[in-house]
Amino acid sequence: MDQLDKISGQDTEPSNGQHRQTTLARKRPTAVLSQEERERQRQVAEARKKYGRGRPVRLNQVKDKKLKSALRRIENKYQDAVLGAKDAEILLENQSGFLQPESALERTYKVRQEDISEAVSVQQAKKSFELKLDLGPYCANYTRNGKQLLLAGQKGHIATCDWRSGKPGCELNLNETVRDAKWLHNDQYFAVAQKKHVYIYDAAGVEIHVLRKYVETSHLEFLPYHFLLAGVENSGFLRYTDTSTGQIVAEHPTRKGPPTALAQNPYNAILHVGHQNGTVSLWSPNSTDPLIKIQANTGAVRSIAMDRSGHYMLTGGQDSRLKLWDIRALKEVHSYSTRQPATSISISDRGLAAVVSGTSTTIWKDLLTTGNSSQPGKVQSPYLNYHSSLGTQVKPNTVGFCPFEDILGVAHSSGFTSLIVPGAGEANYDALEVNPYETRTQRREAEVKSLLTKLQPETIALDPNFIGSLDVRSAEQRAREKDLDAPSREEEKMAMLKERNRARGKNSALRRHLRKKGGKNIIDEKRVRMEQMRHEKSEREKERITGEKMELGPALARIFYTSMNTEA
Amino acid sequence: MPRQAHGRPLLASGPTKTQKRKPAKGRGLNALETAEREFPQQVKIRQHRLGEAEDDNDASNTRADADGRSSKRQKVDHSPDKQDEEDGGSDPDGNPWHVGVEDDEDSDIDSDDAFGESDEERFADFTFRGSSKQEDKPQKPRAKQLSAKKLDLEEDEVKDEDGDSVSEDDGEEASDEDDFGDDAIDLATAWDMDDEEQREEREKAARKKIAQRQTLNGLPDGSDEPVESLADDESEDDIDQEDDAFGGFDISEDEQDEETTARLRSFVDGLTPAEQTLVKSAPQRINRNLPDKPSAFALPSAPISAADLMQYIKDPTQRQSLKILQQAEKEDGTSYKGGIPGKLAAPLAKRQQDRLDRAAAYDQTKQTLERWVDTVKNNRRAEHVSFPLVDHTKASASGVKALRPVSAGAPQSELESKIKEIMQESGFSMQNGQDIEDEEQKYEELKEKQIPLEEVQARRRELRMQRELMFREEIRAKRIKKIKSKAYRRVHRKEKDKFAVHEHERLAAAGLLNSDEERERNDRKRAEERMGARHKESRWAKAAKASGQTTWNEDAKIGVSEMARRDEELRKRVEGKNIHGSDESDGDSESESELDSEAEDADQRWNQKLDSLQSTEQPAGKSKLADMAFMKKAEAERQTANDEELKQLRRAMNGGENLSESESDNEDKPVRQSFGKQTTKKTATAPPPVNRLDFEEKLSDEEDNQEETESMMPQLQSKQPSLGLQPASKAKPPTSTHQAKSTNNLSAATTKTSKSQRNTTQKSSRPQTTQQSTLDDYTSPSESEGGHPDGLDDKDRLALDIFAGDDEEDLRTQFIKEKKQTIKEEGDQVIDNTLPGWGSWTGVGISKKAQNKAKGRFVTTIKGIAPETRKDAKLDRVIVNERRVKKNGKYLAQELPHPFESRSQYERSLRLPMGPEWSTRNHFQDAIKPRVLLKQGQVIKPMAKPVA
């Protein structure tokens, strides 16, 4: 028997994706699944859970045969795609891991940076460094591929560098207040929000543009897929500029006073602006009003951060509360209290959250990852904890995780510190998307390609999948929006009624009868008589008129009848 | 049958009948002459040669519609009699007869071709059938349809025709001819539609009728011809005789023999009663009369056979060919099928022929084209088609890619031969690739041959017997299974039980019983039985329940409680647990417990005891006193105390491990929150000393409170938001206005917290109660302040009071106000279109009332979003903008694209990503693969003819 089994096993083993559809279809729905069949189903379910794109269409409800087969084909493609993606996981060769306590008593937050850098490889240890700069407080920004670092001191010091190799890019001393600085689509350009206007510099530090429309901009954000540079001003104006064309795309007044925070949602390119009154408003360039307003905190919102999937938002408020919001359901999930207001938050690709409160920087794990319920559980202790070694007075200004690295950049009042945070970065990169090791030509090609595939600002919406979906407005609504002055349907109906009844003398009993009853194309005796009567009547009328005309004489008749006609 | 209709006696023994004949015509007369000369001989010859019964059958076959014809003939027969008498000179042309023969002979000639000048008369009806020229036309169909009234009609017709002129006679003649023509056409169709059954049926009917006629028709008819008599002699061969007789009769009429006509008349007179009896079967005939296939010209269908013509032909060669024809007719379908058509059918009219040709051609083409259907369908349905097409049959032989079953044939590859070898070795298949079962059967058969016959037979008999018995048993079982009587079942069950007990005893006596297992099993069985509805729904129990005895009758109460206890015990037993040591348990169970206790260790026994204690603590019945509130409370307290004691005992036993587990379990369980007096429990379950981690989540506000009072842990003190600020404000006074603004003053904070607490208690059912906990600074020193519990001193509080901005309450109210505003803006918009002074007075001095009256007269409402349908209707801290974003609109589909039936289908089809960024390379390439692929540089030949 064993041998037989083996043989049959040989036969069935190589069955791959192609055969599975047919075998599935052939089996009775109530038939007991074989072991491998069950295994395969489990795989599909797993893959679908991770890579699936919504529920399949119910094919049994489709009546049209052609459509049914087309949809079935599509569903098969979905499944193939999902399984392919799952299979392709084998290519994600780099693994990621966190600090693991060996016993229950050990706490990861007690591990200091020195311990970590001793333990990790030299290459990695080199990435942990500290820059002492005295034109602070600084703010820092990494490029999308994590290669270049931009440092901007409030007192006007701007510096870029390839931080891994320690190669300086450019250094500027602007001698005026710098509020924020952001890289644009690659490491060749960056925008700086200065005292009055926003300026764009190139990699060599040459000033290329002045955006004079931007006045006293306090926060900047760059939307890489849309090439939009967004800045929010102290006056409360939010402006979008297309950096590929130089046009201002949108200007929206927030009407909430000076903004306190700005962050972009990487999932749908919506900007979240924090306000003094504890609300967070969500903006797109397409609407003059915020899409959503959330009363997140009870004090001013000091910092906002969204995770990569765009599901969760962390807001730190002046009320010393750190709130976790589910942006899809628009519900607050958890509320944590902080010792001091969280002034800066950053969420890494793998869901670690770095929170600056007071002088300390804490890094939290599993803040956003869902527990056994559908929502994230509440975390009790941080993953890592950092206090500047430069002194107790050093206050971190901004924090930001470096993409594809286990590095957290902390820009503080006296410089910049790069911390090693194990497990922070995405271990596997997609070179089609962003390439941390790109060469110059690759960078150029990527630039051209991204320009070609640039998304229009109109594609920004809360649900980025809306494109191509069906417009569900009613016909009436559409008509109304098409022409605002157009009368409504009821009005039109009334007008029609009026119009219909307006003609005088055309509604004789005879005519009405003919219209109503004689409309059919049946010519019978009655109908003929009717027609004749009508004819006679008109003849009589004509006669009468001619008679009258004769009586009146040509001149008078003309006057009389024209006046009569106009009256009618 | 037509022959019957003729009324001619067919039996040799019976008197010969005068037949009603075809109308006498010129042609007919000639035929008569020739026939008179030839007939007797001819018939005799035929009798000799082919006088088999089969002949008749065949002949009858060829004339499917002979019935119909008979009536026609009858009718016509009479008229010519008289006609002939009156205008004898009108029928002397022999031409028609000849032509008739010719016509039959070279049936290939088209009707058009054959239509010559001389034939004008004869074929008049053929061509102008539908025309109203011919007076006798209507008669025929009428006659056909009303065969029941045949005779009366005939009489009339005869009268009508009496006064007919020559032309009418011509017409008559033509009509006769017509019959022939019809025959010719119908012969062709008749060949096709021949049915054996039909034939037989007809035959039978014919025989019956003949018999009838023989009995009924007493008319002696010496008739005209020896032929007649001859024909009569052959009583059974109705059809051939008929034909013969028919010919003969024609001749006799044609002769204008007075004698014969007289005889004929007498025959007709005599015929009447016989015909009347036949009326019964008339309707049947009518149906047969109608042509089976609709012919285009509605030609009457009376087939003409070769035998009909035989008599008129003298030329030996012609006769030869006719005989062949006859032979063919007899063999009918078979010879035709053999590919040698015995005789050629008369040609169809061109149009008709063309139509048939076209139909046939169409069928042919369709067939050839249908071969392509599958291929074309497949290609159309295929997702991708690549040219040049691959010939799958050539591409790969089966078995190249897949392993074929080993038993299929000789092993082709080395691997297969190896497998086969293994199979043979392990006994799964035999040397020659046969199944083992086959082999066995063969072996048995062989063996059987060696055994003597009797033995084999005996064995078989036995087997059969057994099978029979089994079958009977099965049937019996089925029948018994259907019995619904409870009494029957009861009796039988009892019997069975008795038997089982007996058996058991016997076994026990013999010492064959495995006592422990058996006992266990029996126990279980019994328990299951008792658990059944029978026990619970016993009469006693029902009565007790119905009468409410349990409330006052002590006995009943005890009984019920006993029952409940028992029930519980039994359930446990069913679950497989042993019930031991319970004092109420009955004798055998006690003995069991004794037995088992030897095996079990002491700890377990203790546990059981504890269990039983716990379970038996509740008193079975309750007095009214016990129902009272304070008693209950006391009872509950006692219970908890007992529980505690038990727990402690257990803890002592298990050494503490168990306890923590069980306790944690208890905590984990979702317990309904109870208010009021439960202090005993609280004190009893003292919290584990320092097990809780510093950063553990607090479960609820209450717990927070508790912990606040108890623990000294610093982070718990910073529960309230204002407290969190405290160190900062201590370190440096609030310099930035933002900070100062939003720091809450103490009073506000406290009121807020109390409020929020109240809220949480109120909305405890809502799932979204946000919990509070701290994100702490771990290295920061733990602050432990005396004085104020919230960690604020007077100065701070003053500072907070001074720099207090909007507190939470204000912010909340502001937000709500804003929300209301947006709801109003996005809701229904009412626009007042009233013009002041339009339909009302306006100006100075108009009263307020009048003004108001004039106000809302012309109003238009623009539909907005109702507050309850808003997305944020249930989210009190969120405002969602419900206005449509117009700029997004240009990326929306305005209407559902064609093939899709619903929005979900369409959107689903869109969501499949195409780009290489979102899918694997395989999938991407699959997605962008064009539907039609052409291999470059190759000649693409048209598709080869599919193998049908």
- B591-636 per-position pLDDT tens digit: 444 444 444 455 666 666 666 666 555 554 455 666 677 778 888 8
pLDDT at position B429 is 66
Chain A residue numbers with beta carbons less than 8 Å from the beta carbon of B865 are: none
Is residue B682 a contact partner of residue B702, using CB atoms and an 8 Å limit? no
Query: Nearest CA of chain A to the CA of B177: how many Å?
Result: 52
Task: Examine the domain organization and report whether A496 and A394 are in the same domain.
Answer: no
CB contact under 8 A, B919 and A85: yes
Task: Examine the domain organization and report whether A339 and A387 are in the same domain.
Answer: yes
Is pLDDT above 60 for B651?
yes
Non-local (6+) Cβ contacts of A241 within 8 A are A211, A213, A214, A228, A229, A230, A231, A247, A248, A249
pLDDT at position A375 is 77
Say which residue, B22 or A456, is predicted with more confidence: A456
Task: Examine the domain organization and report whether A274 and A405 are in the same domain.
Answer: yes
Q: What is the pLDDT of residues B298-351, one digit of tens each?
A: 555 566 777 777 778 788 888 888 887 777 767 655 545 555 555 677 888 899
pLDDT at position B840 is 81
Chain A residue numbers with beta carbons less than 8 Å from the beta carbon of B815 are: 277, 279, 293, 295
Nearest to B889 among A276, A465, A471 (CB): A471
- Amino acid in position B167: S
Last residue of a domain, one of A463, A478, A499: A463
**What stretch of H or E contains A230?**
strand A228-233
The CA distance from B252 to B244, in Å, is 12
Q: How many Cβ contacts (< 8 angstroms) between chains A and B?
A: 255
Residue of B nearest to A460 (CA): B888
SS3 labels along B116-142: CCCCCCCCHHHHCCCCCCCCCCCHHHH
Query: Nearest CA of chain B to the CA of A147: how many Å?
Result: 22
The CA distance from B394 to B388, in Å, is 14
DSSP class per residue in B464-512:
HHHHHHHHHHHHHHHHHHH---HHHHHHHHHHHHHHHHHHHHHHHHHT-
The CA distance from A544 to A549, in Å, is 8
**What stretch of H or E contains A171?**
strand A167-173
Say which residue, B689 or A503, is predicted with more confidence: A503
Rounded average pLDDT over A171-194: 95
Task: Examine the domain organization and report whether A513 and A556 are in the same domain.
Answer: yes
The CA distance from A120 to A389, in Å, is 20
pLDDT at position B198 is 58
The CA distance from A18 to A38, in Å, is 17
Q: What is the pLDDT of residues B653-683, one digit of tens each?
A: 665 444 344 444 444 444 454 454 444 444 3
Nearest to A319 among B383, B742, B879 (CB): B742
Residue of B nearest to A340 (CA): B725
Residue A216 lies in a domain: yes
CB contact under 8 A, A432 and B888: no
Highest mean pLDDT out of A298-312, B416-430, B719-733, B933-947:
A298-312
How big is chain B, counted in residues? 948
Long-range CB contacts (within 8 A, 24+) of B869-874: B870/B823, B870/B826, B871/A330, B872/A330, B872/B819
Nearest to A57 among B878, B905, B917 (CB): B905
Nearest to A81 among B738, B877, B923 (CB): B923
Nearest to B780 among A87, A339, A461 (CB): A339
Nearest to A336 among B739, B774, B913 (CB): B774
CB contact under 8 A, A380 and B926: no
CB contact under 8 A, B891 and A287: no
Centre a 10 Å sphere on the Cβ of residue B724 and count the other Cβ atoms it contains. 24
Task: Examine the domain organization and report whether A73 and A214 are in the same domain.
Answer: no
Say which residue, B146 or A542, is predicted with more confidence: A542
Q: What is the pLDDT of residues A218-254, one digit of tens each?
A: 999 999 999 999 999 999 999 999 999 999 999 999 9
Query: Nearest CA of chain B to the CA of A227: how many Å?
Result: 18
Rounded average pLDDT over B140-155: 44
Is pLDDT above 60 for B905?
yes
* B872 three-state secondary structure: coil
Chain B residue numbers with beta carbons less than 8 Å from the beta carbon of A378 are: 697, 771, 773
Chain B residue numbers with beta carbons less than 8 Å from the beta carbon of A385 are: 777-779
Residue B375 CB-density burial (10 A; 0-12 exposed, 13-18 middle, 19+ buried): middle
Q: What is the pLDDT of residues B703-736, one digit of tens each?
A: 444 444 444 444 433 344 333 334 433 434 434 4
The CA distance from A305 to A325, in Å, is 10
Residue A11 lies in a domain: no
pLDDT at position B662 is 40
Look up residue A331 and give its two tokens: 């519900």
The CA distance from A251 to B319, in Å, is 114
Q: With cut-offs at 50, 70 and 90, classify the pLDDT of residue B476.
A: very high
DSSP state of A222: E
CB contact under 8 A, A289 and B812: no
Q: Which residue out of B885, B890, B911 would a mutagenesis test of the A interface target, given it has the greatest number of A Cβ atoms within 10 Å?
A: B885
- Amino acid in position B316: P
Say which residue, B757 or B929, is predicted with more confidence: B929
Query: Nearest CA of chain B to the CA of A364: how many Å?
Result: 10
CB contact under 8 A, A380 and B779: no
- Number of domains comprising chain A: 3
Task: Examine the domain organization and report whether A260 and A349 are in the same domain.
Answer: yes
Handedness of CA B137, B139, B142, B144 (dihedral sign): negative
Chain A residue numbers with beta carbons less than 8 Å from the beta carbon of B402 are: 11
Task: Examine the domain organization and report whether A296 and A441 are in the same domain.
Answer: yes
Q: Which residue out of A103, A470, A476, A481 would a mutagenesis test of the B interface target, given it has the greatest number of B Cβ atoms within 10 Å?
A: A470
Q: With cut-offs at 50, 70 and 90, classify the pLDDT of residue B771.
A: very low
Q: What is the pLDDT of residues A487-497, one digit of tens each?
A: 777 777 877 77
Q: What is the pLDDT of residues B199-231, one digit of tens each?
A: 556 666 656 655 555 544 444 444 444 444 444
pLDDT at position B355 is 93
Non-local (6+) Cβ contacts of B526 within 8 A are none
| B189: nearest Cα among B290, B119, B338 | B290
CB contact under 8 A, B744 and A298: yes
Q: What is the pLDDT of residues A255-272, one digit of tens each?
A: 999 999 999 999 999 999
pLDDT at position A518 is 59
The CA distance from B875 to B822, in Å, is 14
Residue A481 lies in a domain: no
**What stretch of H or E contains B815?**
helix B808-826
pLDDT at position B114 is 45
Query: Nearest CA of chain A to the CA of B593: how many Å?
Result: 44
Residue of B nearest to A294 (CA): B878
Q: What is the pLDDT of residues B802-842, one digit of tens each?
A: 666 667 788 899 999 999 999 999 999 888 888 888 888 88
DSSP state of A164: T
Highest mean pLDDT out of A465-469, B539-543, B639-643, B939-943:
A465-469
Residue of B nearest to A491 (CA): B860
CB contact under 8 A, A11 and B896: no
CB contact under 8 A, B777 and A319: no
Query: Nearest CA of chain B to the CA of A541: how many Å?
Result: 39
Look up residue B104 and give its two tokens: 């039959």
CB contact under 8 A, A331 and B875: yes
CATH number of A380's domain: 2.130.10.10
Q: What is the pLDDT of residues B734-745, one digit of tens each?
A: 344 344 344 344
CB contact under 8 A, A336 and B775: yes
Query: Nearest CA of chain B to the CA of A25: how many Å?
Result: 18
Gyration radius of chain B over CA positions: 57
Q: Which residue out of A62, A337, A433, A467 would a mutagenesis test of the B interface target, given it has the greatest number of B Cβ atoms within 10 Å?
A: A337
Nearest to A432 among B383, B811, B916 (CB): B916
CB contact under 8 A, A57 and B423: no
Highest mean pLDDT out of A94-103, A474-483, B236-245:
A94-103
The CA distance from B375 to B381, in Å, is 10
Residue of A nearest to B716 (CA): A337
Say which residue, A212 or B554, is predicted with more confidence: A212
Q: Which residue out of B742, B818, B912 would a mutagenesis test of the A interface target, given it has the greatest number of A Cβ atoms within 10 Å?
A: B742
pLDDT at position B407 is 53
Say which residue, B668 or B538, is predicted with more confidence: B538
How big is chain A, counted in residues? 568
Helices (H), A88-228: 113-119, 122-125
CB contact under 8 A, A80 and B926: yes
Is pLDDT above 80 for A3?
no
Nearest to A466 among B718, B888, B905 (CB): B888
Nearest to B901 among A63, A296, A341 (CB): A63
Residue of B nearest to A356 (CA): B777
The CA distance from B76 to B80, in Å, is 7
Is residue A194 a contact partner of residue A207, using CB atoms and an 8 Å limit? no
Query: Nearest CA of chain A to the CA of B338: how many Å?
Result: 48
Task: Examine the domain organization and report whether A418 and A558 are in the same domain.
Answer: no
Is residue B68 a contact partner of residue B285, using CB atoms and an 8 Å limit? yes
Mean pLDDT score across all residues of chain B: 63
Look up residue B123 and give its two tokens: 């074929």
Nearest to A335 among B727, B772, B862 (CB): B772
Chain B residue numbers with beta carbons less than 8 Å from the beta carbon of A53 are: 911-913
Highest mean pLDDT out of A329-343, A386-400, B38-52, B246-260:
A329-343
The CA distance from B579 to B171, in Å, is 116
pLDDT at position A509 is 76
Q: What range defines the domain where residue A58 resides?
A: 48-84
